[in-house]
Amino acid sequence: YRSDPPERSNLAAVQHVLLVLSGKGGVGKSTVATELALALRLAGKRVGILDVDLCGPSIPRMFRVQDSAVHQCDSGWVPVFAHQDKSISLMSIGFLLEKPDDAVVWRGPKKNALIKQFVSDVAWGELDFLIVDTPPGTSDEHISTVEALRPHKPLGAILVTTPQAVSVGDVRRELTFCKKTGLRVLGIVENMSGFVCPHCSECTNIFSKGGGEELAKHARVPFLGSVPLDPQLSQSLEDGRDFIQEFPKSSAFPALAHIAQQILDGTSPQSS
């Protein structure tokens, strides 16, 4: 393994760091983080995902690597590779648990210590994008992650919501968090935006409609798109399969691809 001189930061060769936030749980942060990583990979980028959800780490299973272990090298922890071609690398507390059902019942200070380690001690190597998946809320994990990432000047944050007011209400608070911590908001994604019945193709707004777009307008941040509910997407995530490769005809695919494209456009040389 290439060993870096100790004074070089493990994030030095990471081009762009972006966070996926919400305020609300269960809106699809990990899903969007995973799909964004897969879409960026398809565009030829090297991507890493850092999962700082210590109580509910969803990322390992989404890539079917939940049984992997983490190894050490001179520069720190070696991330787990999700593809044979090593184009996606992952770090999550999920890899450090002895048993998958072990609850991580830690108070803030212990969580903060691990997050600091996750940010500085993972030997990511060269990455185009490091996506940071977070738990819901505006607490220890979020404060610590932003503080630890500050020297590395993150690109910004994508905020995920579902359409209904109850979700949007929490995401508004997350926007305040971003403002207060100086984290640039790249845009809002409205997830679970409509369900197309696989039997008759009727679209039902199970979780209401439009809240994400309205919030983006109200907060004057970019609206990155609406992603509909697609059970094929849920199924892929359950099985740890590559939805982007397997279901390019899915109703969710254009939305996810468009979100990735906007991120890429925002980081292309002409856009600065």
Partner 1 sequence: AEAAELRARLRSVKHTVLVLSGKGGVGKSTFSALLARGLAAHDDKQVALLDIDICGPSVPRMMGLEGEQVHQSGSGWSPVYVEENLGVMSVGFLLSSPDDAVIWRGPKKNGLIKQFLRDVDWGEVDYLIIDTPPGTSDEHLSIVQYLSAARVDGAVIITTPQEVSLQDVRKEINFCRKVKLPIIGVVENMSGFICPKCKNESQVFPPTTGGAEKMCQNLNISLLGKVPLDPQIGKSCDKGQSFLAEVPESPATSSYRSIIQRIQEYCDLQHSQEEKIM
When binding is defined by CB under 8 A, the residue of 10, 23, 149, 154 that contacts partner 1 is 23
Taking the complex as a whole, the smallest distance from the CB of residue 35 to partner 1 amounts, in Å, to 14
The yes or no reply on residue 248 touching partner 1 (CB under 8 A) is: no
The yes or no reply on residue 142 touching partner 1 (CB under 8 A) is: yes
The yes or no reply on residue 237 touching partner 1 (CB under 8 A) is: yes
User: Which amino acid is it at 27?
Assistant: V
User: Which amino acid is it at 64?
Assistant: R
Name residue, tokens 């941040």: 221
Taking the complex as a whole, the smallest distance from the CB of residue 131 to partner 1 amounts, in Å, to 17
- What residues form DSSP beta bridges with 185? 157
Interface region with partner 1, contact rule CB under 8 A, candidates 50-58, 70-78, 119-127, 257-265: 50-58
Cβ–Cβ contacts within 10 Å for residue 94, how many? 24
Sign of CA dihedral 72, 77, 83, 86: negative
* Cβ-based neighbours of 27, under 8 Å, separated by 6 or more: 136, 160, 161, 162, 167, 191, 192
**In terms of DSSP H, where are the helices of the chain?**
29-42, 59-62, 108-120, 140-149, 165-181, 211-219, 231-239, 243-246, 253-267
The yes or no reply on residue 102 touching partner 1 (CB under 8 A) is: yes
When binding is defined by CB under 8 A, the residue of 81, 83, 117, 169 that contacts partner 1 is 169
Rounded CA gap, 51 and 65, in Å? 13
The yes or no reply on residue 92 touching partner 1 (CB under 8 A) is: no
How many residues make contact with partner 1 (CB under 8 A)?
A: 64
Taking the complex as a whole, the smallest distance from the CB of residue 79 to partner 1 amounts, in Å, to 21
Taking the complex as a whole, the smallest distance from the CB of residue 73 to partner 1 amounts, in Å, to 29
Name residue, tokens 């849920």: 234
Return residues touching partner 1 (CB under 8 A).
23-27, 30, 55-56, 58, 61-62, 100-109, 111-112, 135-140, 142-143, 162, 164-167, 169-170, 172-177, 180-181, 195, 197-200, 202, 204-208, 229, 231, 234-235, 237-239
